[in-house]
């Protein structure tokens, strides 16, 4: 299946991590990252620690998040390069939600001894490719033997202190905006987990390796069964989320929001967290929420609950903003720049403590309960990732 | 067994992680860390990412390293607080080897759903206690469900660029010094794994919780069998390594070494890595190596190989320095300060590429081969940790 060569990879395709060895893997990773050292990085891979020059007049923004095999992904649903991409972007999303520019990454890999080393190389290639695209440099990390695969990434970014976006700054009267669409990644995952998904070939993950980025939905890889394009797009959203880095930066630089959080654990959870940290309530207009078309598509074809996917589906990595009215024009201008995802006004912050959904007919209901990582024992593959903050 | 209460912990002692839940665990961790915010930390636990003010005229020194259950420790040999302490100190050691001051830590926890939550709280207490002692603040991280327990820590430190200690600066003629003793942690682990260790009660790990720090070797906890004091000390070295942070700082600030590395993977590996990075060879005087008394003690009582433990035993977290002759007095002065571990001259760097051990009678032999993490499949518990640098 994997025909393309990987530059500098001279091990047998079937060689295990134990056979290739930790030192050879690290040497290969160092070569894959290259010596394209920036002025920012005094020391990259190869010493006891990495050394990075802080950006002048900026603060360091630090986050860490992990992808665990069988919890956040399965190899049946995600290719190696997908996993590397995701492991980086879940962290970029946290940095984006602070209005910061991601700069460097550390990679802590836990590898079963019998895992194919080539699969690891493809994972690292996916991560390094995603890092380059985001102008992030992989500067260090470690490889450890582990009973099961995990990919733990730390990202350090930079922001001017006055441009930081916190969760806690929202005030009553601020309007709530969300980027992109919600429920897409959850719909993609649900489709893969559904009978209809398992029957078709699309459960095949993206091809591995450097060429993966060229793979596009609708390129025929999916075999004879034609997929609704919304589902195809949702599969990509699930496998290769794109953190909203540029959007967070623009909004931060323009001081156009009073609070921000990413929707890694779903829209309802993000709303609750932002409201709780800010000491406000929220009223969300159900009809305004930009539910991804894949959610509707999926609900039509399976017994998935549209509302559950839309409100509680995680892993979209969109940004939720609170915007003071006086900053509305500034926000719409900053977020309306070319290349940025659309933003949609979905409600407002209130003086009351309640988090409410308001239907078109005026009926009010509480937001669905927050997501608890440990209670989702049945939703194993692709389980949502808790926010940074432990 | 665990009588002492843990401040703020109001869950049942037998409650699992799934029962307590991720959000409650994170809240408890935030309370355990406390709001003792320093001027350095703009945002700690609770937002999408942590925000740290870089130290003026300093660079950031970043490292990450993981402790995996069954690979780097077992719960049979280490108490929860021991694991937290170790998870921090393996990272502090990397920062120390750069001559940097550790400042903040991130914690990425992978937790099985059925693990007792109280055990996790004790682990975090051990980590936070060790962090306070090292003047390091836990500023963020995440909790994830995982099939097995892992504790991944990232530490960021600071150093003036001209004070940095690299692996690559050694030159022919430089003298080699190592701090403390070598083989202690490996001897401690081997003792626990040996029949004699398993027969006695000392395989019982340190008690858990905040009180653990008060536990001293020889306090009678070990029951009727009196342990040789060298072995007792080695058990502590294995369970609660102390990174040589102050030593690294002193040597770095005084520009008293041309290169430095920690001995996390054993003395032989450190010598090879330093020699390789610097493009020199080494000649090490076997008789000069400060082998820990526990190694000799153990070799007398079991069939453990003294030389293997001394040269290849990992997890000592001592520092190996290359010192130019003109810096010798400066080095001995800086490293001789009160409270710092002793340093011992063990050899020198050479123009040749060979890494040689020289016996008292003049016989030469090559250094034992480097440690490969994956090949030590049989030495599961407490397997050594590869250096940062992937």
Calculate the average pLDDT of chain B. Answer: 88
Query: Which residues in B lie closer than 8 A to residue A266 (C-beta atoms)?
Result: none
Contact A95 B49 (CB under 8 A): yes
DSSP strands (E only) in A126-229: 137-145, 150-159, 175-179
Query: Which residues in B lie closer than 8 A to residue A152 (C-beta atoms)?
Result: 64, 66, 108, 152
pLDDT, tens only, A173-213: 999 999 999 999 999 999 998 866 666 544 455 544 333 33
Q: Is the pLDDT of residue A24 over 60?
A: yes
Residues B180, B305, single domain; the answer is yes
Going by pLDDT thresholds of 50, 70 and 90, the confidence category of residue A375 is: low
Candidates A42, A47, A104; nearest CB to B167: A47
Q: For residue B313, what are the domain limits? A: 175-188+241-370
Residues A310, A339, single domain; the answer is yes
Residues A147, A181, single domain; the answer is no
Contact B63 A164 (CB under 8 A): no
Query: Per the annotation, does B262 bind a ligand?
Result: yes
Residues B116, B245, single domain; the answer is no
Alpha-carbon gap: B355 to the closest alpha carbon of chain A (Å)? 18
List the CATH number of the domain containing B330: 3.90.650.10
Going by pLDDT thresholds of 50, 70 and 90, the confidence category of residue B110 is: very high
**Which residue of chain B is at minimal alpha-carbon distance from A265?**
B48
Query: Per the annotation, does B265 bind a ligand?
Result: yes
Query: Per the annotation, does B65 bind a ligand?
Result: yes
Contact A388 B141 (CB under 8 A): yes
Q: Is the pLDDT of residue B224 over 60?
A: no
Query: Which residues in A lie closer than 8 A to residue B64 (C-beta atoms)?
Result: 64, 106-108, 140-142, 152, 154
**Which residue of chain B is at minimal alpha-carbon distance from A162?**
B42
Going by pLDDT thresholds of 50, 70 and 90, the confidence category of residue B195 is: low
Residues A306, A158, single domain; the answer is no
Query: Which residues in B lie closer than 8 A to residue A45 (C-beta atoms)?
Result: 389-390
Residues A314, A360, single domain; the answer is yes
Residues B270, B146, single domain; the answer is no
Residues B180, B317, single domain; the answer is yes
- Mean pLDDT throughout A340-367? 96
Query: Which residues in B lie closer than 8 A to residue A107 (C-beta atoms)?
Result: 64, 390
Write down the pLDDT at residue A34. 85
Q: How far apart are CA B346 and CA B320, in angstroms?
A: 10
Candidates A21, A43, A161; nearest CB to B166: A43
A-B C-beta contacts closer than 8 Å:
312
Q: Is the pLDDT of residue B106 over 60?
A: yes
Q: Is the pLDDT of residue B152 over 50?
A: yes
For chain B, the three-class secondary structure string (H helix, E strand, C coil) is CCCCCCCCCCCCCCCEHHHHCHHHHHHHHHHHHCCCCCCCEEECCCCCCEEECCCCCCEEEEEEEEEEECCCECCCCCCHHHHHHHHHHHHHHHHHCCCCEEEEEEEEEEECCCCEHHHHHHHHHHHHHHHHHCCCEEEEEEEEECCCCEEEEEEEEEECHHHCCCCCCCCCCCEEEEECCECHHHHHHHHHHCHHHHHCHHHCCCCCCHHHHHCCCCCCCCCCCCCCHHHHHHHHHHHCCCCCHHHHHHHHHCCCCCEEEECCCCHHHHHHHHHHHHCCEEEEEHHHCCECHHHHHHHHHCCCCHHHHHHHCCCCCCEEEEECHHHHHHHHHHHCCCCCCCEEEEEEEECCCCEEEECCCCCEEECCCCCCHHHCCCCCCCCCCCCCCC
**Which residue of chain B is at minimal alpha-carbon distance from A60?**
B52
Q: Which of A89-98, B114-123, B211-220, B340-349 has the lowest mean pLDDT?
A: B211-220
Write down the pLDDT at residue A39. 79
End-to-end CA distance of chain B: 40
Calculate the average pLDDT of chain A. Answer: 88
pLDDT, tens only, A210-221: 333 333 443 333
What is the four-CA torsion angle of A232, A233, A234, A238, rounded to 10 degrees?
100
Write down the pLDDT at residue B199. 64
Alpha-carbon gap: A365 to the closest alpha carbon of chain B (Å)? 23
In a domain, A235, yes or no: no
Candidates A50, A64, A110; nearest CB to B63: A50
pLDDT, tens only, B288-341: 999 999 999 999 888 889 999 999 999 999 999 999 999 999 999 999 999 999
Residue B255: alpha-carbon gap to chain centroid: 24
In a domain, A200, yes or no: no
Number of separate domains in chain B: 2
Q: How far apart are CA A150 and CA A142, in angstroms?
A: 12
In a domain, A320, yes or no: yes
SS3 A313: coil
Going by pLDDT thresholds of 50, 70 and 90, the confidence category of residue A3 is: very low
In a domain, A233, yes or no: no
DSSP H/E element including A25: helix A22-33
In a domain, B10, yes or no: no
Candidates B63, B377, B387; nearest CB to A18: B377
Residues A44, A108, single domain; the answer is yes
In a domain, B297, yes or no: yes
In a domain, A169, yes or no: no
Write down the pLDDT at residue B3. 42
Query: Which residues in B lie closer than 8 A to residue A142 (C-beta atoms)?
Result: 64-66, 385-390
Q: Is the pLDDT of residue A382 over 50?
A: no
Q: Which neighbouring-strand residues pair with B347?
A: B176, B284
Q: Is the pLDDT of residue A390 over 60?
A: no
Q: Is the pLDDT of residue B217 over 60?
A: no
Candidates B18, B29, B64; nearest CB to A108: B64
List the CATH number of the domain containing B98: 3.30.1330.10
Which residue in B20, B27, B47, B161 has the most chain A C-beta atoms within 10 A of its own C-beta, making it the best mutation to test that interface?
B47
Residues 6 or more apart from A175 whose CB is under 8 A from it? A322, A323, A324, A325, A328, A345, A347, A348, A349
pLDDT, tens only, A318-330: 999 999 999 999 9
Query: Which residues in B lie closer than 8 A to residue A46 (C-beta atoms)?
Result: 167, 277, 389
The residue with greater pLDDT, B315 or B223, is B315
Residues A297, A357, single domain; the answer is yes
Residues B116, B180, single domain; the answer is no
Residues A291, A356, single domain; the answer is yes
In a domain, A296, yes or no: yes
Q: Which of A120-124, A223-227, A233-237 has the lowest mean pLDDT?
A: A223-227
Q: How far apart are CA A121 and CA B49, in angstroms?
A: 28
Contact A22 B372 (CB under 8 A): yes
């Amino acid at each position: 299946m994997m025909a393309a060569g990987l530059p500098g990879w001279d091990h047998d395709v079937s060689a295990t991590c134990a056979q290739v060895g930790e030192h050879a893997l690290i040497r290969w990773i160092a070569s894959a990252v290259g010596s394209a050292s920036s002025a920012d990085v005094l020391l990259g891979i190869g010493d006891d620690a990495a050394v990075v020059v802080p950006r002048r007049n900026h603060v360091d923004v630090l986050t860490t998040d992990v992808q665990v095999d069988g919890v956040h992904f399965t190899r049946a649903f995600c290719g190696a390069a997908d996993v590397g991409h995701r492991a980086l972007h879940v962290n970029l999303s946290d940095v984006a939600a602070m209005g910061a520019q991601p700069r460097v990454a550390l990679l802590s890999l836990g590898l079963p001894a019998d895992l194919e080393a080539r699969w690891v190389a493809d994972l690292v290639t996916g991560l390094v490719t995603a890092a380059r695209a985001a102008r992030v440099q992989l500067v260090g990390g470690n490889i450890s033997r582990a009973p099961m695969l995990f990919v733990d990434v730390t990202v350090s970014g930079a922001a001017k202190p006055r441009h930081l976006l916190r969760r806690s700054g929202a005030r009553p009267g601020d309007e709530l905006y969300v980027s992109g669409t919600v429920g897409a990644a959850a719909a993609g995952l649900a489709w893969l987990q559904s009978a209809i998904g398992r029957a078709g070939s699309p459960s095949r993950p993206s091809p591995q390796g450097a060429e993966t980025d060229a793979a596009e939905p609708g390129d025929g890889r999916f075999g004879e069964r034609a997929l609704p394009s919304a589902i195809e797009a949702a599969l990509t959203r699930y496998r290769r989320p794109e953190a909203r880095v540029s959007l967070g930066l623009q909004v931060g630089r323009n001081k156009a929001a009073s609070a921000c959080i990413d929707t890694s654990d779903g829209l309802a959870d993000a709303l609750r967290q932002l409201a709780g940290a800010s000491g406000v309530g929220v009223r969300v207009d159900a009809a305004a929420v930009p539910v991804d078309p894949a959610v509707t598509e999926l609900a039509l074809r399976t017994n998935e609950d549209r509302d559950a996917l839309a409100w509680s589906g995680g892993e979209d990595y969109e940004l939720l903003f609170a915007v003071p009215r006086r900053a509305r024009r500034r926000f719409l201008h900053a977020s309306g720049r070319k290349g940025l995802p659309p933003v949609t006004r979905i409600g407002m912050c209130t003086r009351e403590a309640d988090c409410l959904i308001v239907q078109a007919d005026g009926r009010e209901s509480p937001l669905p309960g927050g997501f608890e990582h440990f209670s989702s024992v049945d939703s194993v593959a692709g389980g949502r990732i808790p926010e940074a903050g432990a």
